[in-house]
Amino acid sequence: MARILLVDDDASVRRVVRLTFERGGYTVIEASSAFEALGMLRGDELPDAVVCDVLMPGMTGLQFYRHLAERAPRLRHRVVFLTGANQDPDVHRPIEQLGVPLLGKLGDLRLVLDAVRIALLRPDHADPP
């Protein structure tokens, strides 16, 4: 069973997304901030994929992604971003440049589940140097 790290500062959003993933057969590990999530990216017990909010206090999802790419490079192609501001060009353009999916928080959560399923099909190793 794949383990999904869910990073969002909104507890109610985390709960709804977690329940969706659990119904889909996934194990979900929650982090209420990017800082907390970074602390979970140590050791051998890395998650299989990450679902991350974009706009969070302290450290944005994009900043978190940069740290994740350094700390756990095998996960950088297994990230799905969520935001309520997915129509804002200042939000979606930098994420599109990363080649990482961005979906609306308030949209159909089945799409988020499908995006993670696709991300899990990607190789779980870092690109060659």
Over residues 39-74, the pLDDT tens digits come to 999 877 899 999 999 999 999 999 999 999 999 999
CA distance 120 to 19: 19
| Domain extent for 41 | 3-121
Residue 88: what pLDDT? 76
In a domain, 31, yes or no: yes
Q: What CATH number does residue 95 fall under?
A: 3.40.50.2300
Model confidence band, residue 127 (pLDDT cutoffs 50, 70, 90): low
Residue 129: what pLDDT? 43
Residue 75: what pLDDT? 93
| Tokens linked to 113 | 């589940």
Mean pLDDT value of segment 83-103:
82
User: Domain total for the chain?
Assistant: 1
CA distance 125 to 73: 7
CA distance 63 to 18: 23
In a domain, 126, yes or no: no
Q: Which residue is it, tokens 């602390």?
A: 39
In a domain, 34, yes or no: yes
